[in-house]
Structure 1
Amino acid sequence: MPLIDMPLEQLYQYQGRNPLPTDFDEYWEQGLHEMKLTNAQVELVPSSFQVPHAECFHLYYTGVRGARIHAKYVRPKHVQRPHPAIISFHGYTGRSSDWSELLSYASLGIAVFAMDCRGQGGLSEDVGNVKGTTHNGHIIRGLDSKPEDLLFRHIFLDAVQLAGLAMNRTEIDPNRIGVIGGSQGGGLALACAALEPRIRRVSSYYPFLSDYQRVWEMDLAKDAYQELRSYFRQFDPQHTRKEAIFTRLGYIDIQHLAPRIEAEVLMAVGLMDTICPPSTQFAAYNKIKAPKSLELYPDFGHEHLPCFQDKTMQFLLKM
């Protein structure tokens, strides 16, 4: 089998390269405290897209720092209440799935919440300096400010807040909540489960936002991680601040959140992935202490992984 990373036996032992900030746990406890103090001001607006077996809504809420966050909410009709729910997260710079893609779970009596990440391709705001979209550059957004100004901190907290809002709805069973996603969505699914211990199941495929220093050392700071390369070229061309920069990024590195996960995890990795290198994904997987299983795709990269969505559905039906 060709290799773009470590041999498989080494991948299963790999523990990551990116530094862990010394106040990491305190950082996230403070973030969760800020989130809990935020008045969500939930608004539910019926969508123009409707189908016979489910109700479709736009759900808006206020996240940390005042951004209005948007999620699609598909609620099955004619099913026993309370019923289970899944929360879906999309890839970097993208947006939530089309309504029609969310209906397969609704047909099984499972509600779906699909979040738009703030400032990316959907309807959620980025309120840094102006309201609206910033689309990308989000890994390095806030890197030269205080650690609590990192934009992905806010996005992680948006995900956790949506999970809590879902659990508080009377039609939802708070003990049967799952999170799913690929790439950025896979990273957010793991982060959400790490910061919201009531989540029961996680399906994550080729997760993004893990082990930034390893990506850079592999010379793969391009495509989804291009902004790391651009940041060093523009703002630290001689790498005099390299250790401080990667330590700051450690606050939003999902491998450091992974030990907190209590949910059962199903994860998929393509061993030819040059967008999110396999070692960076294993750095997170190897730190998960909860029940977990891994689906390997030796000849696949950052692309559709055959049958994994079917395996995800079967996995989530057991909540």
Structure 2
Amino acid sequence: MTRSQIEFKNSDGITLRGWLYTPDHTKAEKLPAIVMAHGFSALKEMTLDNYAEAFVANLPMCCLIYDHRGFGESDNAPGQPREEIVPNLQIADYSDAITYASTRPEINPNKLGVWGTSYSGGHVLVVAAVDRRVKVVLSQGPCVSGWDNFHRLVRPDLIPQLDALFRAADRIARMEGKEAGYLPVVSEDLYGLSCALAGKEVYDFFMEWQKKTTWPNRITIRSMELFRGFEPQQLIEKISPTPLLLTVPMNDELTPADLSLIAYDRAREPKELSLLNGGHFDSYRGETLKKNVTRQTEFLKKWLIDA
């Protein structure tokens, strides 16, 4: 297969950059494709290549992967901070990536899907509900409710301090023209107020990848405020008749499995559920990754390649 560097401008004029995976030996006709992006602050290098390589090696299709605006190799809007996560803008960028994919000579514009994991696993639920160009959606370990997820991750006694941080240290400062405030994504203080994502599993994952990539351990304070108001589950019934594969790690502490299963019950057919052993990050490594890729490949063959 071939991996090419790609870049495209979104509807806000921001250049997003990533990779396009294509098979080496293809027929004359254009191929199906999926658009992929990573989760909360993560970069494309953090295992998305493993998924794309497996899909393209086993199916006649392409994979387009990109970094979210303000992260990795992608630009941010002039005057806007880097490492800021605005869910609705990232969702809009998914649709712009679909538009770009539809213009590629290798890709069939009538056979496009979306794939997301963790935070972007929530994004793709919204994209699939509102963008009818999407023919399949694969959502893995998704954040389905920012409100519920936020209140699982943050200790109740710390929430008033966070509210004060949102209000005084960030909103007012921005209104006065000051630079955005930042928080570390993870910290050695695993369960305090010093970082955005609490827990040893998430800390170990990001610290491992910080050694291998340009990932900066920070997000804007506003990103956390917007996280609490992100509710992709509200549209999950609207995805149908687009086929949905929801992958749920059963011991997930970051995006709890019970929240995903409740959302899955509300989704309409056609839908499929894949349950994985292990925690949130096990789907990115080892035997769990292999089993996960195999299951997702079967879904893609059934609903995107052969449909």
User: Are 1:123 and 2:61 matched, yes or no?
Assistant: no
Secondary structure of the equivalent of 2:68? coil
Paired residues in the alignment total 235
Aligned-residue offset at 1:247: 11
Aligned-residue offset at 1:276: 1.0
Secondary structure of the equivalent of 2:260? helix
Give the one of 146, 159, 170 matched to 1:212: 146
Give the one of 249, 254, 268 matched to 1:275: 254
- Report the residue type matching 1:207 in the other structure: P
Give the one of 74, 82, 89 matched to 2:30: 82
Secondary structure of the equivalent of 2:274? strand
Give the one of 287, 293, 298 matched to 2:266: 287
User: Are 1:232 and 2:163 matched, yes or no?
Assistant: yes
In structure 2, the residue matched to 1:13 is none
- Tell me the distance in 2 between the aligned counterparts of 1:83 and 1:180: 17
Which has a greater percent of helix? 2
In structure 1, the residue matched to 2:194 is none
Q: After alignment, is 258-267 or 227-236 more displaced?
A: 227-236
In structure 2, the residue matched to 1:104 is 54
- Tell me the distance in 2 between the aligned counterparts of 1:106 and 1:192: 23
8 Å Cα contact 1:254-1:284 kept in structure 2: no
1:48-59 counterparts in 2 under 5 A? 53-54=1-2, 56-59=3-6
Could you give the per-residue CA deviations for residues 211-254 of structure 1, whole angstroms, max 9, x where no partner exists? 22222443x238xxxx98864241359xxxxxxxx998687421
In structure 2, the residue matched to 1:316 is 300
**Structure 1 length normalisation: TM-score?**
0.64
- Tell me the distance in 2 between the aligned counterparts of 1:58 and 1:229: 45
Aligned-residue offset at 1:302: 1.1
- Tell me the distance in 2 between the aligned counterparts of 1:312 and 1:258: 19
8 Å Cα contact 2:11-2:96 kept in structure 1: no
Q: Sort the Cα spacing of 1:193 and 1:94 in 2 relative to 1 into closer, same or farther, 3 A.
A: same
8 Å Cα contact 1:82-1:170 kept in structure 2: yes
Q: After alignment, is 92-101 or 80-89 more displaced?
A: 92-101
8 Å Cα contact 2:20-2:62 kept in structure 1: yes
User: Are 1:164 and 2:99 matched, yes or no?
Assistant: yes
8 Å Cα contact 1:221-1:229 kept in structure 2: no
Q: Sort the Cα spacing of 1:82 and 1:187 in 2 relative to 1 into closer, same or farther, 3 A.
A: same
Q: Sort the Cα spacing of 1:290 and 1:197 in 2 relative to 1 into closer, same or farther, 3 A.
A: farther
1:41-52 counterparts in 2 under 5 A? none
User: Are 1:221 and 2:154 matched, yes or no?
Assistant: yes
User: Are 1:61 and 2:8 matched, yes or no?
Assistant: yes
Percent identity reads 23
8 Å Cα contact 2:125-2:233 kept in structure 1: no
- Tell me the distance in 2 between the aligned counterparts of 1:268 and 1:229: 34
- Tell me the distance in 1 between the aligned counterparts of 2:160 and 2:55: 39
Aligned-residue offset at 1:255: 0.8
Give the one of 192, 199, 224 matched to 2:127: 192
Q: Sort the Cα spacing of 1:230 and 1:64 in 2 relative to 1 into closer, same or farther, 3 A.
A: farther
Q: Sort the Cα spacing of 1:125 and 1:110 in 2 relative to 1 into closer, same or farther, 3 A.
A: same
- Tell me the distance in 2 between the aligned counterparts of 1:272 and 1:248: 26
For structure 1, list consecutive stretches of 5 or more residues without a partner in the other structure. Answer: 1-52, 139-150, 238-245
- Tell me the distance in 2 between the aligned counterparts of 1:229 and 1:68: 37
- Tell me the distance in 2 between the aligned counterparts of 1:260 and 1:165: 24
1:134-173 counterparts in 2 under 5 A? 134-135=82-83, 138=85, 151-173=86-108
